[in-house]
Amino acid sequence: MNIHNITHNFVDRFPGDFSGDLHQRQTPGFLFTTVSAAHFENLELIAFNEKLSQEIGLGSLDYDLKFLAAQDLPKNIETYATAYAGHQFGNWAGQLGDGRAIYAGEIKNEKNQTSELQWKGVGATPYSRFADGRAVLRSSVREFLMSEAMYYLGVPTTRALSLVKTGEWVTRDIAYDGNPKQEQGATVLRVAESFLRFGHFELLAARKEVDTLQKLIDFAIENYFEEVDVNSETKNLDFFQAVADRTARMIIEWYRVGFVHGVMNTDNMSILGLTIDYGPYSMLDEYDLEFTPNTTDLPGRRYAYGKQGQIAHWNLLQLANALFPVIKNETALQEILEHYASDFWKLHDEMLCKKFGFDTLLKIDEPFFTTWQQMMQDLKLDHTLFFNTLTDLVLKENLDAKDFNNCFYHQPSVEDVARISDFIKNYQKRLNQNLISRPEIQQLMSQNNPKFILRNYLLYEAIQDLENGDNTKFNALWKALQTPYGNHDDALLAKRPQKYNMVYGCSQLSCSS
């Protein structure tokens, strides 16, 4: 591996604490602190993403297992953790920071593209807030597989380079019910163009460190926003517009594939519009706008599936507040936020058009989508299986409501079947207004409706087996997620079995997941 090519552009540009002191504390005036990873003796490689490693310029593994767990690093790698703030569940939380993430630095590939490398779970930092900075195998598997699954689905995301068992035991109370247990420790080495968050900008604004705030905006524009001219007088406002646009595109993609993040705090929001921090997430099984996989989010369901567009808008408002000291134009910021709100649902309807195979968005589509959504909500139909069934049947002249029986999580009633029949009639009428052929319609639908999604119960089974030393299901999921729009064994496409209803760690998760 080309680890001697790792650099530290962020460290070179911003004020930091180089003491290496891991004592948990406030770090005013600093955007990062240098840290050292914990020592692990019995490392075990579970997965290495060779293709990704080659793409980012890191190269082949060469049996350099220690680097994947931040052990015995060469002198050119100066590990550090960054400080940021954020709003958590709608409340200002003050300074947060990388509590269990440690940066290795940046690496460039042959195309001069830069990627940041970051370990998750290799030890405490000054921002760990009295936690141990470790990660367990359970959460690490979920991050590794889901971030890669989202990439292959076509959703903007951070990625995962490796998954390594650390050989130690870590105590976690998964249900927050006073019953902690020992779990196997692990670490993920994750990759992104940048891990900068809304919270980095919120922290500087809260501290009134306006000069550093401007420098951070300039840094972001120069490195990650080609669409923004760093020499323009309106660069700060253009930067906010770009972040809003990328955020909207990301959330639309979440809705397309049925992804629920579960904890959309502002410190979990990427300025690049990347899905970041895979904790208590879930892909939709039965359709439910009020579904949240995060038990910490109950009973309010702030981060429920149907609220994600609204929450992204609220989070952008907090970012606007943070950028105001350098933009100083409340009207212009408000206009961007208003356009986000008005444009988002148009983008959402355009996305649904592709899922249904409509070549253009018509005025009649909004009530059609509303009727469809209410049907899905009332009947609790499986989101992915519904669209897969529709895609498979679109070439038939006469669709039968019984073809959708596999989408139910209960025995469909006569009324349920009648409702499906009414929908089919309306859908056929709408298809007849298309200007493209039925085979072209099916192709459009196939490109926008994944067949394989990484359901929580599949992850749950793979994690249980992996904890017992069997990686068969893990490897099967890793292979399947790389072709989500292709054909797969029926066992991988099945809806959640009834036995997993309300099973903790499967259907329900906490923020420690």
Beta bridge partners, 184, equal: 169
User: In terms of domains, do 333 and 218 share one?
Assistant: yes
394 and 379 together in one domain = yes
Last residue of a domain, one of 397, 420, 448: 448
Number of domains in the chain: 3
Kindly report, residue by residue over 402-447, the tens digit of the pLDDT: 999 999 999 999 999 999 999 999 999 999 999 999 999 999 999 9
Evaluate whether residue 458 is within a structural domain: no
| 205 shares a domain with 164 | no
Indicate the residue among 353, 376, 398 that finishes a domain.
353
267 is catalytic: yes
Domain extent for 266: 199-353
Q: Do 114 and 257 belong to one domain?
A: no
The distance of Cα 437 from the centroid of its chain, to the nearest Å, equals: 35
How far is the CA of 22 from the CAs of 11, 27, 35, 127, 134, in angstroms?
Answer: 17, 12, 7, 9, 14
- Express each pLDDT in 161-208 by its tens digit: 999 999 999 998 887 888 889 999 999 999 999 999 999 999 999 999
pTM greater than 0.75 (yes/no): yes
- Among 17, 238, 267, 382, the one annotated catalytic: 267
Chosen domain end from 180, 195, 210:
195
* CA distances (Å), origin 202, targets 90, 92, 97, 264, 266: 14, 10, 12, 15, 9
What average pLDDT does the structure give for the chain?
96
Q: Tokens for 69, please give them.
A: 């767990």
Q: CB 59: neighbour CB atoms within 10 A?
A: 16
Look up residue 494 and give its DSSP letter: P
pLDDT bin (cut points 50, 70, 90) of residue 512 is: low
Asked whether residue 293 is domain-assigned, the answer is: yes
> Does the pLDDT at position 257 exceed 90?
yes
State the alpha helices, DSSP H only, in 380-471: 383-393, 414-431, 438-448, 456-467
Q: CA dist 421 to 391, 418, 428, Å? A: 16, 5, 11
Phi-psi region of 196 (alpha: psi -120 to 50; beta: other; left: phi over 0): beta
